[in-house]
Amino acid sequence: MDFDSFDGFEKLLYDLSKVKIKSKEDAPLISPATFATDDSAHTSKLKEPSKRDKTPFYHRKNVNVLDWGGWCALDVDTWIPKGNLEDELNERFSEYRFVCYSTASSVRDFPKFRIVFPLSHRVGSDQIRSFWHAITTESKLDVDPQCKDLSRMYYVPADYRISSDTTSFIFSGGSDKPVDVDTLIEKHPAPAPRSNNFFDNLPAEVQAEIIEHRKQSLDNRTYSWNSYRDCPFWPKRLATEYMTISDTGWYHKMYQMMVATASQAVRKKYPITSQEMAQLFFEFDMDTGGWYKDRNLGVECDRALEFVYRNM
């Protein structure tokens, strides 16, 4: 389903909350995930559907998720408010717009509920886990910070009639602002995942020695350039994508560009420095709005180079 705004989606949730349902099994499911179809450009990377699958969509599997649409939801099953639930959530999420509705297992003395937030932009599949860690950390509602299921689905709001103690409610709150995806990821960076990579399990001092050796092995200094426009390592495709962004997500895309630039230089054995990279991105930023004119881009360039040296 497509909506012109979160208002339309919110209205759908309120309409569904009036429908009387005897059990969860009778309720429809919703998901923020967008799944690839058989004519998607991503088809070559997807698992084939079974012959029994008669829909145009591929299976509901993580590998087939392209992104999350303009919303996300938190299931809250173990947190109990100290006072009025609506007042506490309004205080906790005063800077974000949200809709809260009861789940089928909610009872008067132990409310269980779901909070739905509008997002500043769609969240690509490569960013979902980082965003999920950030939004669960921000909520402080004892929600599992690990995103095991990119294709997660939720029961819709309804007037559940499971038992005499079941309680149903829905309300909106907070401000009129969506959750800023990129800002929240920066605020709550996800910890590095546990790795089976041999390098990652080496002592820190050994890793540092290996990285330094890799740096010293780059000895091709035949490259030169005047600006990012003629830099042989410049990621032109990513730069074009960056210039099409109209709302938010500039930082995430720029960091991708930094990693791509560093990777190209290392691949061609050129010992590019973070200062050289920072100058390229400062010039590019000044030509595309000056979003980061007061920011030390060298720090991000250092991170990008470190990432490439660790994974070359």
- Report the C-alpha gap between 60 and 56 in whole angstroms: 12
Encoded tokens for 187: 């605020």
Q: Identify the pLDDT of residue 283.
A: 95
Q: Identify the pLDDT of residue 53.
A: 42
Neighbours of 205 (CB within 10 A): 8
The per-residue pLDDT string of the chain (312 residues; one tens digit each, 9 = 90 and over) reads 888 899 999 999 999 999 998 877 788 889 999 887 654 433 333 334 344 444 444 467 777 888 998 999 999 988 888 889 999 999 999 999 999 999 888 888 888 999 999 999 999 888 999 999 999 999 998 886 666 688 888 989 999 877 777 789 999 999 999 999 999 999 999 876 665 667 777 787 888 888 889 889 999 999 999 999 999 999 999 999 888 876 666 777 888 899 999 999 999 999 999 999 999 999 999 998 888 887 788 888 988 898 898 887
Q: Identify the pLDDT of residue 247.
A: 60
Q: Identify the pLDDT of residue 62.
A: 79
Q: Identify the pLDDT of residue 193.
A: 62
- What burial class does residue 45 get, using C-beta atoms within 10 Å of its C-beta: 0-12 exposed, 13-18 middle, 19+ buried? exposed
Tokens 């089928």 belong to residue: 104
Encoded tokens for 236: 């032109």
Q: Identify the pLDDT of residue 43.
A: 36
Tell if the pTM clears 0.75, that is, is over it.
no
127-140 as b/e: b if 16+ CB within 10 A: bbbbbbbbbbebbe
Q: Cβ(151)–Cβ(60) under 8 Å?
A: yes
- The residues near 45 (Cβ < 8 Å, ≥ 6 apart) are 63
Number of continuous H segments (helices) and E segments (strands) in the chain: 9, 11
What is the signed CA dihedral for 110, 111, 114, 117, rounded to 10 degrees? -120
Q: Identify the pLDDT of residue 290.
A: 86
- Report the C-alpha gap between 162 and 107 in whole angstroms: 10
Rg (CA), the chain: 24
DSSP letters for 173-224: EE-SPPB-HHHHHHHSPPPPPP---TGGGS-HHHHHHHHHHHHHT-------
Encoded tokens for 170: 């829905």
Q: Cβ(119)–Cβ(184) under 8 Å?
A: no
Encoded tokens for 5: 């705004």
Q: Identify the pLDDT of residue 157.
A: 93
